[in-house]
Amino acid sequence: MTKTKQLNVRLYDTTLRDGSQGEGVSFSKADKVRIVERLDAFGVSYVEGGWPGSNPKDMGFFEEIRGRRFTHTRVAAFGSTRRADQTVEEDTNLRGLLQAETPVVTIFGKTWLLHVHDVLRTDADTNLDMVGTSCRFLKDHGREVVYDAEHFFDGYADNPEYALATLRCAVEAGATTVVLCDTNGGTLPGHVQEICARVRAILPAGVELGIHCHNDAGCGVANSLLAVQSGARHVQGTLNGFGERCGNADLCSIIPALELKLGHRCVAPGVLPHLSELSRFVYDLANMRPDTRQPYVGESAFAHKGGMHVNAVAKNPRTFEHVPPEGVGNRRRVLMSDLAGSSNILLKAHEHNIQLDSKSPEVKRILTDLKRLESQGYEYESADASFKLLVQKLLKKHKPFFTLEGFRVMVEKRGPDAPCLAEATIKVTVNDTTEITAAEGDGPVNALDLALRKVLTPFYPEIRDVQLRDFKVRILDGKDGTAALTRVLIESGDGHEFWGTVGVSENLIEASWQALVDSVEYLLYERRNGAGARRSHKG
């Protein structure tokens, strides 16, 4: 029986505060509550809810969760040390931190004399008193005090004695955790490792060393992991690396690295396979598209394209996968392109529940056809649905659900300030019945899409569920100008799953039509065969 590791690294999530300072990131009060609940279920030790003195929304969040009990998480309010010209009793920021009524309060103070002189416009001794009196004030009011040593690594490089003096002031005044912050995000891993080891060696027993890294030099995750290896046991970061400028250290990379590679426990037992789901949940609440190349949780994190790589993975996944994708809630994907080999075909077919014999002539025929179509501009990496239909057609297992008799698309503009009007008329035959209909849309593709749905819905009511989620156009050869070959990629969904299709033509409308038809045919095929649309991502 495997012994469960004891929690020995405490995660401190600051997605709701530092993460929300990232460009394009915003959370409502309800969003913040939902994220805290998910982080609690995940076993995160601390969640920083915001700065109660900075805006009404953050204070509203603290009021909303006041009195709630969480299983694993302690909620923290964030703020600064007192102002230089005020006592702790007069300082509105410190009073706001107490009014939040959180069990934990995190305050930041200046450790870099550049900031002391140029930002605070005060002297070194006054700043030390600001740190000490603020920590003592909060400790005396029964709060667990986390001290964020802002710009610590820059301050240490400038004047190590002063930077360390700020830590001593915080500890002597009651801070139980001191966090070394790479606020500018420019410190390199070797320096972080060396400085963290020095600080850990001089901290009193019972005081926890923490790390808070930004990612401006692309080292946020590496710096956080090296800090742990140098004795830090409190790690701050954000989900998906959200944060100002280039973001914060990404907890979605830190968590599996600690758990799977360094042998530490930092989340609740058994939750790691839900990491990708947690990542997507936060992207959805932020109304942002996930980063497909994000380590561990990105859609491309375990995607294989080269034929030799796919062949090796089929024999032993460890050859090209540093951790099992299922361990972090992700999945292996095989990409189809002109670099594909027979292993790609076999594994991709297996993904779609299509059984192929590796020695069958069908595999060679599919591979030959795939490379021919790719040379014509088709691309199946993001068009799994079109690939499955292609294979079914080559195996003569696909019967079209309708036949196009013809379509016409018109775009009209009446006057320089008038909006463009688009109308599509379409004629199809379904089971020996021919129907014709028309629809207006915001543009020619939208009109064609609406007309296709309108004419087919009486025969196939499930088409009502299809939603066009994304539409991408790529000019494949610009030298031909407006007559250039055009590739259209469409992402469709039914409210639960979504899938990609592709079309290629010198005519944008024709390319769009190909992708639209594949989208509808794919849904109908999957529904009629009881499989349900294969997902490429589920939010």
Task: Say how many C-beta atoms besides its own lie within 10 A of residue 158's C-beta.
Answer: 14
Q: Which residues contact 407 (CB under 8 A, 6 or more apart)?
A: 424, 425, 426, 427, 448, 451, 513
Task: Give the pLDDT confidence score for residue 138 in this predicted structure.
Answer: 97
At 95, the amino acid letter reads R
Binned at pLDDT 50, 70 and 90, residue 339 comes out as very low
Check pLDDT > 90 for residue 375: no
CB 511 within 8 A of CB 475: no
Determine phi and psi for 309, rounding to 5 degrees. -65, -45
Task: Say what the pTM is.
Answer: 0.72
Binned at pLDDT 50, 70 and 90, residue 381 comes out as low
Check pLDDT > 70 for residue 476: yes
For the ranges 37-41, 115-119, 131-135, 480-484, the lowest mean pLDDT is seen at 480-484
Domains annotated on the chain, with CATH: 10-267 (3.20.20.70), 303-375 (no CATH), 402-459 (3.30.160)
CB 210 within 8 A of CB 234: yes
DSSP-based three-state secondary structure for 53: coil
- Each residue of 489-530: pLDDT tens digit? 888 888 778 888 999 998 889 999 999 999 999 988 888 775
Check pLDDT > 50 for residue 535: no
Task: Give the pLDDT confidence score for residue 207 in this predicted structure.
Answer: 97
Check pLDDT > 80 for residue 348: no
- Each residue of 315-326: pLDDT tens digit? 888 888 899 999
At 57, the amino acid letter reads K
Identify the residue whose tokens are 């540093």: 322
Burial class (CB in 10 A: 0-12, 13-18, 19+), 287: exposed
Between residues 387 and 194, the one the model is more confident about:
194
**Dihedral sign (CA 172, 178, 184, 189):** positive
CA–CA separation, 331 and 439 (whole Å): 40
At 2, the amino acid letter reads T
Assigned token pair, 456 = 């087919």
| β-bridge partners, 154 | none
CB 503 within 8 A of CB 488: yes
Task: Give the pLDDT confidence score for residue 3 in this predicted structure.
Answer: 55
The closest of 303, 328, 141 to 251, measured between CA atoms, is 328
The closest of 78, 70, 170, 83 to 121, measured between CA atoms, is 83
Segment 457-485 shows an average pLDDT of 78
Check pLDDT > 80 for residue 2: no
Between residues 160 and 385, the one the model is more confident about:
160
Check pLDDT > 90 for residue 328: yes
Highest mean pLDDT among 187-191, 369-373, 379-383: 187-191
At 354, the amino acid letter reads I
User: Regarding beta strands 486-493 and 498-505, do their DSSP bridges make them parallel or antiparallel, or are they unpaired?
Assistant: antiparallel
For the ranges 12-21, 56-65, 138-147, the lowest mean pLDDT is seen at 56-65
What's the distance, CA 376 to chain centroid? 33
CA–CA separation, 440 and 326 (whole Å): 45
The closest of 213, 124, 136, 199 to 171, measured between CA atoms, is 136
Q: What is the pLDDT of the chain when averaged over all its residues?
A: 88
Determine phi and psi for 85, rounding to 5 degrees. -100, 15
Task: Give the pLDDT confidence score for residue 192 in this predicted structure.
Answer: 97
User: Regarding beta strands 403-413 and 10-13, do their DSSP bridges make them parallel or antiparallel, or are they unpaired?
Assistant: unpaired
What's the distance, CA 72 to chain centroid? 23
CB 197 within 8 A of CB 226: no
Task: Say how many C-beta atoms besides its own lie within 10 A of residue 291's C-beta.
Answer: 18
Between residues 532 and 394, the one the model is more confident about:
394
The closest of 215, 222, 180 to 200, measured between CA atoms, is 180
Between residues 338 and 22, the one the model is more confident about:
22
Assigned token pair, 68 = 């709630």
What's the distance, CA 117 to chain centroid? 39
CA–CA separation, 301 and 294 (whole Å): 7
Task: Give CA separation, 471 vs 189, 446, 511, 515, 518, in Å.
Answer: 41, 10, 12, 10, 14
Segment 180-209 shows an average pLDDT of 96
Assigned token pair, 325 = 């994708």
Task: Give the pLDDT confidence score for residue 395 in this predicted structure.
Answer: 75
CB-based burial, 472-509: b 16+ in 10 Å, e otherwise: eeeeeeeeeeeeebbbbbbbbbbeebbbbbbbbbeebb
CA–CA separation, 55 and 193 (whole Å): 36
Task: Give the pLDDT confidence score for residue 110 in this predicted structure.
Answer: 96
pLDDT above 90 covers a percentage of the chain that reads 61
Task: Give the pLDDT confidence score for residue 1 in this predicted structure.
Answer: 39
CA–CA separation, 126 and 116 (whole Å): 9
DSSP 401: S
pLDDT above 70 covers a percentage of the chain that reads 90
Between residues 479 and 331, the one the model is more confident about:
331
DSSP letters, 380-394, are -TT-HHHHHHHHHHH
Binned at pLDDT 50, 70 and 90, residue 345 comes out as low
Task: Give the pLDDT confidence score for residue 194 in this predicted structure.
Answer: 97
The closest of 74, 137, 111 to 199, measured between CA atoms, is 111
- Each residue of 255-311: pLDDT tens digit? 999 999 999 999 999 999 999 999 999 998 898 888 989 999 998 898 877 667 777
Task: Give the pLDDT confidence score for residue 533 in this predicted structure.
Answer: 41
Binned at pLDDT 50, 70 and 90, residue 442 comes out as confident
Segment 173-198 shows an average pLDDT of 97
Task: Give the pLDDT confidence score for residue 481 in this predicted structure.
Answer: 55
Q: Which DSSP helix (H) or strand (E) runs through 366?
A: helix 361-375
Binned at pLDDT 50, 70 and 90, residue 355 comes out as low
User: Regarding beta strands 234-237 and 208-213, do their DSSP bridges make them parallel or antiparallel, or are they unpaired?
Assistant: parallel
CB 442 within 8 A of CB 461: no
Task: Give CA separation, 199 vs 107, 115, 164, 325, in Å.
Answer: 19, 21, 8, 36
Task: Give the pLDDT confidence score for residue 397 in this predicted structure.
Answer: 76
